Amino acid sequence: MVESEPKVFIPESFQVNYDIVTQMKMIWDVMKAPLIVPFLNACVYISLAMALMLFMERVYMGIVIVLIKLFWKKPEQRYNYEPLREDEELGNSNFPVVLIQIPMFNEKEVYKVSIGAACGLSWPSDRLVIQVLDDSTDPVVKQLVEMECQRWASKGLNITYQIRESRGGYKAGALKEGLKRNYVKHCEYVAIFDADFRPEPDFLRRAIPFLVGNPELALVQARWRFVNSNECLLTRMQEMSLDYHFTVEQEVGSATHAFFGFNGTAGVWRIAAIDEAGGWKDRTTVEDMDLAVRASLRGWKFLYLGDLEAKSELPSTLRAFRFQQHRWSCGPANLFRKMAMDIIRNKKVKFWKKVYVIYSFFLVRKIVAHMVTFFFYCLVIPLTILVPEVYVPIWGAVYIPSVITILNSVGTPRSIHLLFYWILFENVMSLHRTKATLIGLLEYGRANEWVVTEKLGDSVNNKTKSGDAAKKTNAKVQKKTRSKFVERLNFLELGFAAFLFFCGCYDFQHGKHNYFIYLFLQSLSFSIVGFGYVGTIV
């Protein structure tokens, strides 16, 4: 008697799922050779081209900054510079009248220090006009700021408290409205300080002589220093990125083309240059860069002083940092869309300066730098693991990003030990910046969104407190600023964390390049940001 084979009963739901997986695999196999492989190859070539653009830009900047440090004369030697002093006969009349503008919006934590720093400038009080441009919507904050202005006015300072009926134009609207006042006609220069900025007392005495002695100069820009850079890992990462911007990008632009993007604060403008350039405009969220480009196209020159510093505060919460980075990425891309043809058609600016502004300043730094970081290292390379037919050269995947990273680290040598995590963190933020850049280029959605960066008051730098007390205060501040767990979640980052983890697992099982080490670490970084905990790591 022949024994019958045992019957295997497969659940119907499992059969359905098995059939779906089989069909998807068949579709993948059919589409891979004619469609997916050529498309991914094209993405690799485009990414490599962008990586080479960024690489050559970084190498060029590195060479120029070395030459500047070794051979360039100091600004005091390159420009006509004569310190201003009181005259026995003329008194203070040889000092130009300077306007100080401090734009504010619900700045309860920092309004006192910013107003106090402006009032403490060592400039003749009869040649100084201070405007506090308060767009606050909180009536309590408005009252506090107004009382602080009155307190300084009672000491003999020429300080005015100015409000508007609406926040039209945001910061640009406030600055523009401030320049319309009749008393501003007597002012030759305007210094702008955001609410968390604290210039040293000699700030004007060091900056103004450059403008007085060089009528072709429109702007003197100072460097930012960060009082809370040691607060947490998030602020350390920001310091590394911004220090490169100030140490290299601003210095090179100033020395080679007398042009760079105004940083919106800690700078002194010639009011005549602002008027000639068309004044403040609110067509983008980077009104400072907009004004700088328009003034440059009029033939005005800019000077960056790396040894002239103003203290400021870095965003110490991920939410505040993300809003800031959206504005800083979306705005320049949107401005490039609006001004590219104006720059090309301009006849007052030399050809090489136009090339620098269009290619280096806008295209490479404001667009390519964000996109290549995200598309190549977070999307294309992981996808090539799933499609082994696509080849990525080792020089593009490893050597070029390594050199770029080393060159970026020169601005903050004290944080060299954080370089590896800085790379992973910048890759995570490149997702957010790329999205903002595309919004700006296409001018849709949140292209004109303006969210004021939250400031916490920098309690760590209060000299009247001991180190332990400062740490306790910071802990309380962080505790207050923590939102609910669900509100902290960033689902886009969490989705990419899962994608990179899957690619890492696949590479560990089937790959040949050992990318899984990088992919697992990058997945972990996306997860940390996705759960919103990066701002709490000290």
Asked if 264 and 306 count as a contact pair (C-beta separation under 8 A), the reply is no
Contacts of 101 (CB under 8 A, 6+ apart): 131, 133, 175, 178, 190, 191, 192, 193
CA distance linking residue 200 with residue 118, whole number of Å: 9
Confirm whether 467 is domain-assigned.
no
Number of compact structural domains in the chain: 1
The model's pTM is: 0.87
CA distance linking residue 328 with residue 366, whole number of Å: 9
Q: In 248-302, which residue ranges form alpha helices assigned H by DSSP?
A: 251-257, 271-276, 287-297
Rounded to whole angstroms, what are the CA distances from 416 to 233, 239, 316? 13, 12, 21
Q: What is the pLDDT of residue 469?
A: 41
CA distance linking residue 44 with residue 503, whole number of Å: 17
Asked if 141 and 107 count as a contact pair (C-beta separation under 8 A), the reply is yes
Confirm whether 212 is domain-assigned.
yes
Asked if 480 and 317 count as a contact pair (C-beta separation under 8 A), the reply is no
> What letters, b where the CB count within 10 A reaches 16 and e where it falls short, cover 431-456?
bbbbbbbbbbbeeeeebbebebbbbb
Residue by residue, DSSP assigns 110-126 as THHHHHHHHHT-SS-GG
Q: Per DSSP, what are the bridge partners of residue 189? A: 98, 270
Rounded to whole angstroms, what are the CA distances from 4 to 1, 7, 158? 9, 9, 104
- Among 49, 53, 76, 60, residue whose Cα is nearest residue 257: 60
Confirm whether 169 is domain-assigned.
yes
Rounded to whole angstroms, what are the CA distances from 20 to 8, 32, 33, 390, 503? 20, 18, 21, 26, 21
**Is 91 in a helix, a strand, or coil?**
strand
Active site residues: 135, 288
Side-chain half-sphere of 369: how many Cα atoms within 13 Å? 21
What's at 282, amino acid-wise?
D
Confirm whether 222 is domain-assigned.
yes
Q: What is the pLDDT of residue 533?
A: 75
Q: What is the pLDDT of residue 88?
A: 66
What's at 117, amino acid-wise?
A
Tokens representing residue 117 in the block: 């720093």
Scan for tokens 């005495």, then name that residue: 205
Tokens representing residue 346 in the block: 């301009």
Rounded to whole angstroms, what are the CA distances from 424 to 175, 369, 410, 518, 526? 38, 15, 18, 9, 8
Q: What is the pLDDT of residue 514?
A: 83
Confirm whether 19 is domain-assigned.
no
CA distance linking residue 165 with residue 134, whole number of Å: 11
Tokens representing residue 5 in the block: 């084979």
We report the CATH number of the domain holding residue 154 as: 3.90.550.10
Confirm whether 361 is domain-assigned.
no
Rounded to whole angstroms, what are the CA distances from 461 to 108, 166, 256, 467, 473? 17, 34, 36, 9, 11
Residue range of the domain that includes 282? 75-84+91-314
- Segment-wise mean pLDDT, segments of 10 residues, the chain, 538 residues: 50 56 71 85 96 95 93 92 80 90 92 94 94 94 95 95 88 94 94 95 96 97 94 91 93 93 96 96 93 96 96 90 92 95 93 94 95 95 91 92 86 83 93 94 78 62 42 46 66 94 92 86 93 67
Write down how long the chain is. Answer: 538
Q: What is the pLDDT of residue 370?
A: 93
Rounded to whole angstroms, what are the CA distances from 87 to 84, 150, 235, 489? 9, 31, 45, 62
Confirm whether 319 is domain-assigned.
no
Confirm whether 145 is domain-assigned.
yes
Q: What is the pLDDT of residue 471?
A: 45
